Amino acid sequence: MRKSVIKISALGLVLSFASVYGQETTDSLAVKNAVKAAKTEKGVKTVTASSKEDNNRNVMLNAANNTSPRDVNIGLPSTVGGITILENDLPAVYFFWPELPNKTWRQSVGLEKTGLLKMDQLANTMGDLGFTVNSYSQTGTKDFKLKGKFTTSTFGWLQGDVNVSGPISKNGWTYTAGAFLNYDPSTFKLGFARNVDETKIFRFGLTKYFNDNKGKITVAYKYSDSYNVGNYAVFQYGENGKVTELDNFKIGRDSYVLRDGEVKMKDILSGDTYWAGLSGNDSRNTSHNIDIVGNYLLNNGWDFKFSTRAHFAIAKSTNVIPLSIFNAEAGDGYTLASNGQAYTGNVGTQLALHTPSTPITNIAGRFSLSKQVGNHNVTFGVLEQFYKVNDFKSNRSFYFQTVEPQPQRLIGPGTDSDGYYNYNAGGEFHSGTENKISVYGTDEWKVSDNFNLSYGLHLRNHTVDGEFL
């Protein structure tokens, strides 16, 4: 066991330029004329909109599933596995493993708006690299609102999504409540469970609107419970990139996951062996989220915006990853684990990973001041993120399986009596804390109608303290 204390100071400076040229349409001329009229009208304040892409834009889902946004690899290191998901200006999860973002965040009517942030905005405000989904929880509303959606498919997918909000009293108190329930069997049939994805998210919040439209404050609670089972396709790769299906395996329709859904593991610390399931309690994430968010317009015109979060999760996951396929001949010594029958044919080598119950704590807060000063949209902010993970373990084992839909486990040369070998080769353990505190400033300068300049400075102190193997 080794102990490490690492202190990192980061300095980031990001510049981006945007030149806009285009033919004026009737709509754009109407907008321009309206802006000119507003500028000349006495007593009317004008505000130049920021170019941040935080509008309610469509967010493309991952091609492999419908549970999370598409991952985009830009070839640079990222702390969130490819794409950052923000909710209320803070990461949905501090780190993507073992608590994947889609275990606590889903595209839902429980979100007031969802959009995309530019790469420079993420770099300036978060000190991170990559693409960003930016979302905001539905807050209480002064008028009664009911939003709902029901989704189904011929494969048996059932998804219910509903949110209700409205006033409580005449002095500015409002409420919001919602539920997201997803039971998705996908397009392939598992041998051990109906659903490939089973996720439940419940939300409740209270919002107080300040007098004179100065802003609002919301206290929001979110509970999530989720598990997800991945799948792989088996195919034959030929010359010139040609891919053909195997005679006994239909891509997208058959499961290449063990039919009993159980893998044998060994605890990396104690050495005890145990069985872990790919669905249900052994692979289920639960989390509790408490957010306090809002804004207040100061008398000097600066908008004070704040977002704080206390996030407590229990992360568990079981995963299997195919490594290779080879052919076993008679006499090679492979037998079916279920009945001891000799086996010949294609054999798949598999890696199994299991993370037992892992407590995770994330305390975060963002506080910023922004104001339109002439042609400049200026923001100054402070970002604090504290993360604690207790005894994270990634126990690992290897096994053989048949190459067919809902494959069977095999016992072969070098395996134990259940067909497993190489326990905890490449296994992981760590426990400890991280703390990031950042100060940043950004400016979006509209130099002319056809030229925008965006730049910022991000200073961060990052401390890591913990134990690892």
Confidence at residue 56, expressed as pLDDT on a 0 to 100 scale: 52
Asked whether residue 1 carries a pLDDT value surpassing 80, the answer given is no
Confidence at residue 282, expressed as pLDDT on a 0 to 100 scale: 92
Confidence at residue 115, expressed as pLDDT on a 0 to 100 scale: 87
The overall average pLDDT reported for the chain is 87
Beta bridge partners of 58: none
Residue 337 one-letter amino acid: A
Of the candidates 292, 129, 138, the one whose C-alpha atom is nearest the C-alpha of residue 217 is: 292
Of the candidates 109, 62, 80, 119, the one whose C-alpha atom is nearest the C-alpha of residue 362 is: 80
Asked whether residue 77 carries a pLDDT value surpassing 60, the answer given is no
Count of domains for the chain = 1
Q: What does the alpha-carbon distance between residue 116 and residue 231 come to, in Å, rounded to a whole number?
A: 28
What is the residue range of 435's domain? 2-468
DSSP state of 39: H
Tokens encoding 311: 């996030």
Contact between 57 and 115 (Cβ < 8 Å): yes
Q: What is the mean pLDDT of residues 406-416?
A: 97
**What separation in angstroms does the CA of 461 have from each of 23, 41, 376?**
46, 47, 28
CA 419 from chain center: how many Å? 35
Residue 38 one-letter amino acid: A
Q: What does the alpha-carbon distance between residue 198 and residue 70 come to, in Å, rounded to a whole number?
A: 19
Q: What is the mean pLDDT of residues 180-188?
A: 96
Query: What is the tens place of the pLDDT at every residue in 99-139?
Result: 989 999 999 999 999 988 888 888 888 888 777 889 999 99
Residue 219 one-letter amino acid: V
Peptide bond into 98 cis (omega under 30): yes
DSSP state of 247: T
The CATH number linked to 455 is 2.40.170
**Residues in Cβ contact with 34 at an 8 Å cutoff, skipping those fewer than 6 apart:** none
Confidence at residue 7, expressed as pLDDT on a 0 to 100 scale: 65
- Strands, E assignment, 123-172: 131-137, 145-152, 158-167
Contact between 321 and 104 (Cβ < 8 Å): no
Q: What is the mean pLDDT of residues 166-195?
A: 95
